[in-house]
Amino acid sequence: MDKSLPNRAIEWQDQQLILLDQRLLPGTVEFLFIDSVSGTFDAIKDMVVRGAPAIGVTAAYGVVLSALTHSQLDKDKAKQQIEIDIAKLNKARPTAVNLTWALQRMQKCLREQKNNTIASLEKEAVAIHQEDIAANQSMGELGATYINEQSTVMTHCNAGALATGGYGTALGVIRSAFAQGKLQKVFANETRPWFQGSRLTSWELEQEQIPVTLICDFAAASALRAHHVDWIIVGADRVAANGDVANKIGTYSLAILAKHMGKKFMVVAPTSTIDLNSVHGNDIEIEERGHSEVTQVGEKVMAAEGATVWNPVFDVTPADLVDVLITERGAVEKPTAFKIAQLFNKKDV
């Protein structure tokens, strides 16, 4: 690879945002150079970059791009314009709360600045990015303590380096467990309709030489029965205050399967994914995307013309189906509203 090109999904170089175009993986590795708020908005909305923490990190850099764009205006006008851009970025996708979380942090930073707004915002965005990587690494270590020797696990969607600042949430646990020699194999569900599992997770795991077996989503029950899968490990787009988990469509079915078949179900998410304003899962807006994601695979039409389509891309898994929620502040076994509130009251993180 060209040395000047990044090796992560999101890079900030010379005040430019560089994103690996995830729509083209695994066939093509191509980077987009983004220098505007509208470019950042489109990249999130069109899924050049996706995954809850990655969306948050990207939006934070988008705010820096806004400040650079408005640097010729007087200070107050520039701040007003940046606030408008923050509101716009916040609408790029509705479910992953990391987007709002990161933008609120950038907004707070903006409002606190008297001078040197660009430098301060840049520092804050880089901090959000670095903190996410550090959180993933510590969640990886913590989550791996739940994995026994010679385990086989299943994951859904892509909750890896591509979906985060780096390292990954669910795949972070898988990476750490593999590094400790505990993991025999990972089942990756293909994750219809966007194929995050087959296009992204199997690509990431192959690169790390972690043994991965790709299955159709509806082979999950058979895989759980036939292959002694110990844990199902997933990320999250938003965790409500009571522990309900919004994640990629199909996660809820897997949690029900896990319960029925006596398998363990782990959710790995930084506290930036926990939304105390969503009291329970019903408060979480579930994104619905275009019909062509269901009726087509690439350019090929796979459905009868005129077929009615419903394409919710996330679902909500009730907290009582979750065995453990791994965060960078600690593990919450059998999450409840009380235990999650306790997590936020912890002083030493």
> Which H, E and C letters describe 281-298, residue by residue?
HHHCCCCECCCHHHHEEC
50 binds ligand MRU (CB under 6 A): yes
Q: Of 51 and 143, which CB lies nearer to ligand MRU in the complex structure? A: 51
Query: DSSP state, 87?
Result: H
| CA–CA dist 324, 349 (Å, integer) | 18
Q: Of 94 and 330, which CB lies nearer to ligand MRU in the complex structure? A: 94
User: What number of chain residues touch ligand MRU (CB under 6 A)?
Assistant: 17
Span 245-274, contacts to ligand MRU by CB under 6 A: 247-248
Site track 109-138 with ligand MRU (rule: CB under 6 A), x = hit: ------------------------------
Q: Evaluate whether 182 touches 155 at the Cβ level (below 8 Å).
A: no
When binding is defined by CB under 6 A, the residue of 109, 139, 212, 236 that contacts ligand MRU is 236
Q: Of 57 and 64, which CB lies nearer to ligand MRU in the complex structure? A: 57
Amino acid at 193: P
52 binds ligand MRU (CB under 6 A): yes
What is the SS3 assignment for 318? Answer: coil
Span 192-221, contacts to ligand MRU by CB under 6 A: 196
237 is catalytic: yes
List the strands of the sheet with 264-268, edge to edge: 212-215, 183-189, 151-155, 231-234, 264-268, 324-327, 330-333
Taking the complex as a whole, how short is the minimal distance between the CB of residue 77 and ligand MRU, in angstroms? 34
Given 237, 244, 275, 315, the catalytic residue: 237
Q: What is the largest CA-CA distance in the chain?
A: 66
Cα separations in angstroms, 210 against 8, 152, 159, 232, 285: 18, 11, 15, 16, 34
Taking the complex as a whole, how short is the minimal distance between the CB of residue 171 and ligand MRU, in angstroms? 8
Catalogue the E-assigned strands of 149-263.
Answer: 151-155, 183-189, 212-215, 231-234, 238-240, 245-248
Rg (CA), the chain: 20
Taking the complex as a whole, how short is the minimal distance between the CB of residue 167 and ligand MRU, in angstroms? 10
Taking the complex as a whole, how short is the minimal distance between the CB of residue 53 and ligand MRU, in angstroms? 5
59 binds ligand MRU (CB under 6 A): no
Give the H/E segment covering residue 333. Answer: strand 330-333
313 binds ligand MRU (CB under 6 A): yes
When binding is defined by CB under 6 A, the residue of 10, 34, 78, 96 that contacts ligand MRU is 96
Site track 167-186 with ligand MRU (rule: CB under 6 A), x = hit: --x-----------------
Using CB under 6 A as the criterion, which residues of the chain lie in contact with ligand MRU when the complex forms?
50-53, 96, 157, 159, 163-164, 169, 196, 235-237, 247-248, 313
Residues annotated as catalytic (active site), given as ranges: 237
